[in-house]
Amino acid sequence: MLNDNTCSKKPNEKEEESREKNDYSYYDYDTYGKPISSLAELNMLQVNTIDIDNYKEKEIEMIKQQYLGLNKKKKKMQKPSEKFRNIFNFEWDQSEDTSRYDTNPLYQNRLEPQILFGRGYIAGVDVREQRKKNNFYDRLVQNRINYSMKKHTEEELQKKKGSLSQSKTSNVGTNVGTNVGTNVGTNAGTNVGTNVGTNITISQKKNLKTDPDTVNHNRDSYNADTCKDIKHKDDNHNVILNNNIINNDAISKNTNDEFIYKPIINNIIKDVQNKHWSEKKREEMTDRDWRIFREDNEIYIKGGIVPAPIRTWEESNLSPDLLKAIKKAKYDKPTPIQMQAIPISLEMRDLIGIAETGSGKTAAFVLPMLSYVKKLPPLTYETSQDGPYALVIAPSRELAIQIYEETNKFASYCSCRTVALVGGRNAEAQAFELRKGVEIIIGTPGRLQDCLEKAYTVLNQCNYVIIDEADRMMDMGFEET
Ligand SMILES: Nc1ncnc2c1ncn2[C@@H]1O[C@H](COP(=O)(O)OP(=O)(O)OP(=O)(O)O)[C@@H](O)[C@H]1O
pLDDT above 90: percentage of residues in the chain:
26
Q: How many A from CA of 365 to the centre of ligand 1?
A: 11
Q: Write down the pLDDT at residue 243.
A: 42
ipTM over 0.90: yes
Q: In this structure, is residue 467 part of a structural domain?
A: yes
Task: Give the DSSP H/E element, type plus range, for residue 259.
Answer: strand 259-261
Q: How many A from CA of 67 to the centre of ligand 1?
A: 23
Per-residue confidence band for 471, with pLDDT thresholds at 50, 70 and 90: confident
The answer on 446 and 378 residing in a single domain is yes
d(CA 59, CA 448): 26
Per-residue confidence band for 425, with pLDDT thresholds at 50, 70 and 90: confident
d(CA 384, CA 460): 10
Phi and psi at 26, nearest 5°, equal: -115, 20
Highest mean pLDDT among 8-17, 249-258, 376-385: 376-385
Nearest-5° Cα angle at 237, 231 to 238: 90
Per-residue confidence band for 371, with pLDDT thresholds at 50, 70 and 90: very high
Phi and psi at 226, nearest 5°, equal: -45, -60
| Of the residues 45, 65, 85, the one at which a domain ends | 65
Which of helix, strand or coil describes residue 466?
strand
Is the per-residue pLDDT at 469 higher than 80? yes
Q: Write down the pLDDT at residue 65.
A: 79
Q: In this structure, is residue 432 part of a structural domain?
A: yes
Do residues 365 and 470 lie in contact, with contact meaning Cβ atoms separated by under 8 Å? no
The answer on 404 and 321 residing in a single domain is yes
Is the per-residue pLDDT at 235 higher than 70? no
Do residues 413 and 436 lie in contact, with contact meaning Cβ atoms separated by under 8 Å? no
CA-closest residue to ligand 1 atom 9: 360
Tens digits of per-residue pLDDT, 276-324?
A: 888 888 888 888 889 889 999 999 998 888 999 999 999 998 999 999 9
Q: Write down the pLDDT at residue 426.
A: 81
Phi and psi at 290, nearest 5°, equal: -65, -35
Q: How many A from CA of 364 to the centre of ligand 1?
A: 9
The radius of gyration computed from the CA coordinates of the chain, to the nearest angstrom, equals: 44
CA-closest residue to ligand 1 atom 15: 360
Do residues 468 and 392 lie in contact, with contact meaning Cβ atoms separated by under 8 Å? yes
Q: Write down the pLDDT at residue 120.
A: 73
Q: How many residues does the chain have?
A: 481
**N- to C-terminal Cα separation, the chain:** 20
The distance from CA 13 to its chain's CA centroid, rounded to whole angstroms, is 76
Is the per-residue pLDDT at 31 higher than 50? yes
Q: In this structure, is residue 283 part of a structural domain?
A: no
Q: In this structure, is residue 274 part of a structural domain?
A: no
Is the per-residue pLDDT at 189 higher than 50? no
Q: In this structure, is residue 171 part of a structural domain?
A: yes
Tens digits of per-residue pLDDT, 249-276?
A: 566 767 776 666 665 555 555 555 567 8
Q: How many A from CA of 71 to the centre of ligand 1?
A: 27
Tens digits of per-residue pLDDT, 53-89?
A: 888 888 888 888 777 776 666 777 877 777 777 676 6
d(CA 466, CA 389): 12
d(CA 418, CA 437): 9
Q: Write down the pLDDT at residue 78.
A: 79
User: Which domain CATH number covers 408?
Assistant: 3.40.50.300
Amino acid occupying residue 186 = T
Is the per-residue pLDDT at 345 higher than 50? yes
Q: How many A from CA of 355 to the centre of ligand 1?
A: 11
Per-residue confidence band for 43, with pLDDT thresholds at 50, 70 and 90: low
Domain extent for 42: 2-65
**Count of structural domains, the chain:** 3
Nearest-5° Cα angle at 324, 321 to 326: 110
Q: How many A from CA of 470 to the centre of ligand 1?
A: 18
Rounded mean pLDDT of the chain?
Answer: 72
| Of the residues 231, 246, 261, the one at which a domain ends | 261
Q: Write down the pLDDT at residue 270.
A: 52
User: Mean per-residue pLDDT for 380-396?
Assistant: 91
d(CA 448, CA 415): 23
pLDDT above 70: percentage of residues in the chain:
59
| Of the residues 27, 43, 65, the one at which a domain ends | 65
Q: Quick one: which atom of ligand 1 is closest to the CA of 335?
A: 1
The answer on 449 and 360 residing in a single domain is yes
The answer on 468 and 323 residing in a single domain is yes
Q: Ligand 1 test: best mutation among 362, 369, 466, most atoms within 8 Å of CB?
A: 362
d(CA 213, CA 388): 85
Q: Write down the pLDDT at residue 92.
A: 65
Which of helix, strand or coil describes residue 421?
strand
Question: Please, what sign has the CA dihedral across residues 337, 339, 342, 344?
Answer: negative
E-strand ranges in 90-225 read none
Q: Where are the alpha helices (DSSP H) in 196-319?
A: 199-210, 212-221, 226-245, 267-273, 287-296
Q: In this structure, is residue 316 part of a structural domain?
A: yes
The answer on 160 and 57 residing in a single domain is no
Q: In this structure, is residue 289 part of a structural domain?
A: no
Q: How many A from CA of 333 to the centre of ligand 1?
A: 12
d(CA 401, CA 289): 39
Q: Write down the pLDDT at residue 130.
A: 78
Instruction: 171-179: list long-range contacts, CB under 8 Å, 24+ apart.
Output: 173/199, 173/200, 173/202, 173/203, 174/198, 174/199, 177/202, 177/203
The answer on 251 and 330 residing in a single domain is no
Question: Comparing 368 with 76, which gets the higher pLDDT?
Answer: 368
CA-closest residue to ligand 1 atom 5: 331
The answer on 325 and 425 residing in a single domain is yes
Q: Write down the pLDDT at residue 460.
A: 92
Question: Comparing 268 with 327, which gets the higher pLDDT?
Answer: 327
Amino acid occupying residue 463 = N
The answer on 333 and 252 residing in a single domain is no
Is the per-residue pLDDT at 204 higher than 90? no
The answer on 257 and 368 residing in a single domain is no
The answer on 410 and 331 residing in a single domain is yes
Q: How many A from CA of 303 to the centre of ligand 1?
A: 25
Q: How many A from CA of 319 to the centre of ligand 1?
A: 20
The pocket around ligand 1, CB under 6 angstroms, is made up of 331, 334-335, 338, 355, 357-363, 406
The answer on 401 and 335 residing in a single domain is yes
The answer on 466 and 318 residing in a single domain is yes
CA-closest residue to ligand 1 atom 1: 334
d(CA 289, CA 270): 12
Of 37-46, 60-69, 143-152, 412-421, least confident by mean pLDDT is 37-46
Do residues 62 and 44 lie in contact, with contact meaning Cβ atoms separated by under 8 Å? no
Of 1-5, 355-359, 400-404, least confident by mean pLDDT is 1-5
Q: In this structure, is residue 469 part of a structural domain?
A: yes
Q: Ligand 1 test: best mutation among 323, 337, 356, 361, most atoms within 8 Å of CB?
A: 361
Q: Ligand 1 test: best mutation among 337, 342, 359, 468, most atoms within 8 Å of CB?
A: 359
Is the per-residue pLDDT at 172 higher than 70? no
d(CA 291, CA 478): 37
Amino acid occupying residue 13 = E
